[in-house]
Structure 1
Amino acid sequence: MSNQDYISRSPAKKKKKPQKKGKKAQPVATVKTKIVGVLVILLLCGFAYGLWALKNSPETKTPIQNAPEKVTESKKSPDKKANSLPKPPKEKWTYVKDLENKQVEVGEYEVEQGGPYKMQCGSFKTQKQAEVLKANIAFAGLEAIIQPSTGKNGTWYKVALGPYPRKRMAEKDKNKLKRNNINHCQIWLWK
């Protein structure tokens, strides 16, 4: 038996029902669509009638006028009383007078400075890796330094930024580096 190629073969054509000449197929309207259509027409007619009724109503033609106040003889007074303000009410609370007489004690204290801070962003065995990180930090708009450190395990190259007089400034630069996808920076006291 031979294999058949189903992909390149054209799809089978559907048989159509023969139609009478001169007549087109009309969509059949259901009872539900007829009821919805009638309701929409009735609502539009009701809305239009309401707008027409508001337009032609005599109540909406005249503006609303407030009845004039009756002027009594007690309200008639010289110009002094008309322009003066009434007396302020008697104060129920005593905190207003207490605040006027309150003495504020000012404490004398000294703010301790933590010292200069540095931010270390990496420590590498080769200087080339440290130079790559320093270049990435430079692309972020900050200037880094490479400090060689010799210990038991050989020479390590530390990439650091600083010194910063306040820790808040170091945190600001740390967030700037995080936005540029340079993570794992630590803030230390400068030693």
Structure 2
Amino acid sequence: MPKHDYVKTARPKAKPRKKAPAKAPFPWLVLSVTAGLVLIFGWFLWTINQQEPVTTKPQPPVAVKDELPERPTEEPYQYIRELENREVVVEVRELESRGPFQMQCASFRSEEQADAMRAQIAFAGFSSSIRRTEGSNGVWYRVVLGPYDSRRQAESDRNRLRRNGINSCQIWNWN
């Protein structure tokens, strides 16, 4: 059985190279268009130079009347006098206190970590406490601030703590 050379049969046959077309000696069309544009631009500048400048005659100043209209003797609107003599009654509602709030900044398994967080909060200018809680999943040490009378006070302190790099504080009702 004859041996086949599969490598040579898989290669395509080389095509003969085509000769490059001869280059045009010089682009006369481009040169003539460029020369025409330069001539048109020069003609445009020459016509602008030949025009006479436009001058306007100065207008005499117009006398400006500085008269104001007469001041009215009475106010044309009545509501001004009516509002001076009226009393506005506004109903002010008392907001319900939704209870004291507390802010928890961290919760740790070890008391040393809780003390370290409490020290960071102390450096920010706040007093905090550590509460030990025992649950079904073990002992936790929570770093807590508060109680606060309103949520607004707690939000204010939380924003100050965020500016000092303590971003983990959460606020909730303390009942």
Q: TM-score, normalised by structure 1?
A: 0.50
Query: Which residue in the other structure is 1:182 paired with?
Result: 166
Residue-pair matches, total? 106
| One-letter amino acid matched to 1:161 | L
Q: Counterparts of 2:71 and 2:162 in 1: how far apart (Å)?
A: 63
Residue 144 of structure 1 corresponds to which residue in structure 2?
128
Structure 1 segment 138-177 matched on structure 2, within 5 A: 138-177=122-161
Aligned partner of 2:79: which letter? Y
Correspondence for 2:27: none
Compute the displacement of 1:115 (Å). Answer: 2.0
The aligned residue for residue 121 of structure 1 is 105
Structure 2 residue ranges without an equivalent (≥5): 1-69
Give 1:108 deviation, angstroms: 5.1
The amino acid across from 1:100 in the alignment is E
Q: CA deviation at 1:181?
A: 0.7
3-state SS, counterpart of residue 168 of structure 2 = coil
Q: Once superposed, what is the RMSD of the aligned Cα atoms?
A: 2.0
In the alignment, the residues of structure 2 paired with residue 184 and residue 96 of structure 1 have an alpha-carbon distance, to the nearest angstrom, of 55
Give ranges in structure 1 of 5+ residues lacking alignment: 1-85
Equivalents in 1 of 2:120, 2:92: separation in Å?
A: 46
5 Å matches for 1:43-58? none
Distance 1:141 1:101 in 2: 51
- Residue 107 of structure 1 aligns to a residue whose secondary structure is coil
Per the TM alignment, residue 88 of structure 1 is displaced from its structure 2 partner at its CA by 5.5
1:106/1:121 Cα in 2 relative to 1: closer, same or farther (>3 Å)? same
Counterpart Cα distance in 2 of 1:95 and 1:168: 40
* Partner residue of 1:94 out of 57, 78, 88: 78
Tell me the secondary structure at the aligned position of residue 150 of structure 1.
strand
Q: Specify the SS of the correspondent of 2:115.
A: helix
Instruction: State the Cα distance separating 1:153 from its structure 2 match.
Output: 0.8
**Of 89, 95, 98, which aligns to 1:111?**
95
- Correspondence list, 1:16-27, <5 A: none
TM-fit CA distance, 1:168: 2.1
Aligned partner letter, 1:117: F
The answer to which structure, 1 or 2, has the higher relative contact order (CA under 8 A, 6+ apart) is 2
Secondary structure (helix, strand or coil) at the match of 2:166 reads coil
Alignment of 1:6-85 (within 5 A): none
Q: Distance in 2 between matches of 1:185 and 1:135?
A: 15
- 3-state DSSP of counterpart to 1:171: helix
